[in-house]
Amino acid sequence: MEQNKILDKLHIELISPISEGGMGVVYEALQHGTGDFRKVVALKLIREEYSAIDEFRDNFMGEAKLVADLIHTNIVQTYHLGEMDGQYYMTMEFINGVNLAQFMRLQRNSGQYLAIDLAVFIVSRICRGLSHAHQKCGRDGRLLGIVHRDVGPRNIMIAREGDVKLTDFGIAKALDLMYNEEGHTIVGKDAYLSPEQARREVTDARADLFACGIVLAELLLLGNIFEDEDGDAQATRENIRSLEIPDFREYREDIDEKLNTILQLALAKDREQRFQTAIEMLEELEKYIYSDGYGPTNEKLAAYLAELLP
């Protein structure tokens, strides 16, 4: 009842939940304004008990402040951060589509591999968004040093129009904005960690590029090569630290030498041997899909998603 009162004051009407976690819920919602103005938004509402925890509240506010200025076509936009009666909320761009985990589930159900050019296209768009985030400076001109640290299928959205967008910077690190204990704890989802995250080392932007490599390999093979079959988190982290990266041509015959090389670079255990910047990885991915002069577009991805969706 208290939540409904808060939403009434904010002129927000909940439509349906999009996702739910232990600390909060994301809803599809309508933001009402003067003169029958209505806008569909995503509302991230933090549970009251977590809003009262200083560390969590500070990180939530840090995420909102961080993403507010990350205005890019491949990053979900944040509109507003607010607090009412001790409960914190964030309104964000609503993406009418699916996350990449849902997309891959639909793809597996189809009984076919995803076309290589579409898999590469999706990851290239994530690299575009990451490049913007990694290079972002504060108002004083200092590089913010943003590292997402949680690039994975659940945090990648595909809109029905074919737009690919990175979301959820909730555990990102950035200069003076986000709380983190790198070197002491592991942050991120086990199956999408970089080796340095799995070793509890301090990360930089190259950690996100390793995660992009995992996502690309998973799109191509429809399975995560590092994830333990029994779901054991420790075994998964050990695989990320020590598993030899395979020759992907042996897993799928239409993966050629050029794409295999891209995957090997993205998944190099030593970050000095990895792609060094998101723009470098983006350029290689785009050379791969557009070298013949024409390649995948948002419209092609949208048409394919329409075929997959019920």
Active centre residues (catalytic): 150
Which helix (H) or strand (E) segment holds residue 124: the answer is: helix 116-134
d(CA 294, CA 302): 17
CA distances from residue 170 to 66, 141, 220 in whole angstroms, order as listed:
10, 23, 27
Residue type, 12: I
d(CA 231, CA 236): 8
Which residue from 220, 219, 214, 285 is spatially nearest to 252, judged by alpha carbons? 220
Contact residues for 283 (Cβ-Cβ < 8 A; gap 6+): none
Residues 23 and 56: beta-carbon distance below 8 Å:
yes
